[in-house]
Each structure stands twice: as structure tokens, then as C-alpha cells.
Structure 1
């Protein structure tokens, strides 16, 4: 099997509820960012944020770790764009960012600690 397809399938099948410690609904995201829910929807569409259904029956939610100090985590939008360009959907992006397969720690931790360059380089390699 193609390694890229295998990785996509593993990410698509990931248990997001187990990977992501806390989730926020769109209204809570809007409140933390000081914007409207419509703006949150636009931010998700524009890959500034990502959302997924963490457990069956729940609505779409955003990982709480995607927000820091009232803003999206620095570098998150660029990383999401790179991952989407590599063919990942939001669910797969979230799984990739919260797994620690390729990093010393999770990609989200590196982003939150302002170590996004290495994360972005690794994500760019997925497109090849």
C-alpha cells in the first residue's frame, strides 16, 4: 500500500476524542476570540482553524489547544493550509497535529511553544 494512503487512512480513523484533551463548540471559540460564530465558520473554511466531530452525535468542535491568549495559535493557519494542500481534510489535520509520531512531542505543543518552523517543514514533506 502507498505510504501516503496508509497515513491518510490512519489519520482518518484516529480517535480524536482520545487524541485531543479538550474541545470547544463554535460559540465558545467565538467568545474566546471576541468574534461572531459566523466569523469562526469563515476561519474554519479559510483554514485558520480546523473543526471536526470528536465523538458521534456531537456537533463540529475546535480543539481548545488551537487557541492561545485569545487568538489562534501562531503558525496554525499556515500549517493547516500546508496540510490541506497535501490532501488532508480537517479531521486528518487535527489527528496529525495531535499525534506524536514524527516529533519529539506533538505538533500542537511545538506550535504553542513558537517552534512552528520544524512542524511546517515536516508537513510540507507530506505533499511529496
Structure 2
């Protein structure tokens, strides 16, 4: 598992007000997306925020939820799974979040399952 400060420095983070605006959803709905693990975030910067890469075309990345659940089942905390998603993964050849954004969900989840 990774250090909680290991996320790439270039990662843009969206606070709750940012998410309300980007998603076009009320705060209650955004909180529900977080509760349901459709999105996952961190307070590592002092304010709760979600990596902007988890949003695509104004909506949560559809393959994120299942991947988050696999990583949580493997014992990852939210910070650890965010770091894993954002860091380059040697067996995939790029960051898992980039692979998910390119439609390579099965490959990412297969690797994630080996981390337990």
C-alpha cells in the first residue's frame, strides 16, 4: 500500500462546492455519490476533495465504483486507493485511473484483486 502523500502533485482536486458545479447536482446528491462509493475523496489537503480525474464529461467515471470496492475489499483506505489509482502501475503500463478512463476496467480490476 502507498504513502498517503504519494498522489502526483499535478493532480487537480475538486472540493464539494466544485463537485456541485461540475456535476450539476445538489450537495445532497453529491454526498450520496460519495456515500455510495461512486466517488471517493480525501482530506489530505485539509479540505475534503476528490481528484478531478474521477470525473469525465461532467459525470463520475462509471467504472470507478466497482474498482473502489475491489480495493476496499483488499484492505485499502480511501487515501491508499486514491494513491494507487493515480500512481503509475507497472503491470498496466500507466496509472490505473488513466486505464479506467480508456475503458480498460477488467485489466485494472484484475490487477487490483491481486493486491489483497
**TM beyond 0.5:** yes
Match 1:63 to one of 40, 51, 58: 51
Structure number, greater radius of gyration? 1
> 2:24 and 2:4 mapped to 1: Cα distance?
33
C-alpha displacement of 1:81: 0.8
> Does 2:72 correspond to 1:81?
no
Instruction: List per-residue Cα deviations over 1:44-102 (Å, max 9, x = no partner).
Output: 121111111242xx311000010001111121011001111111111111000011133
TM-score (ref. length: structure 1): 0.81
Q: How does 1:112-127 map to 2 (within 5 A)?
A: 112-127=101-116
Preserved CA contact (<8 Å) 2:99 2:108: yes
Partner of residue 35, structure 1: 25
Runs of 5+ consecutive residues of structure 2 not aligned to the other structure: none
Task: Give the aligned CA root-mean-square deviation in angstroms.
Answer: 1.6
Tell me if structure 1 keeps the 8 A contact 2:89–2:96: no
Query: Which structure 1 residue ranges, 5 or more long, are not aligned?
Result: 1-6
1:82–1:123 contact (8 Å) kept in structure 2: yes
Select which of 84, 89, 111 maps to 1:101.
89
Structure 1 segments of 4+ aligned residues over 6 angstroms from their partners: none
Partner of 2:13: 23
Kept in 1, the 8 Å contact 2:4–2:83? The answer is no
* Matched positions, count: 115
Q: TM-score, normalised by structure 2?
A: 0.88
Q: Answer yes or no: is 1:53 the counterpart of 2:43.
A: yes
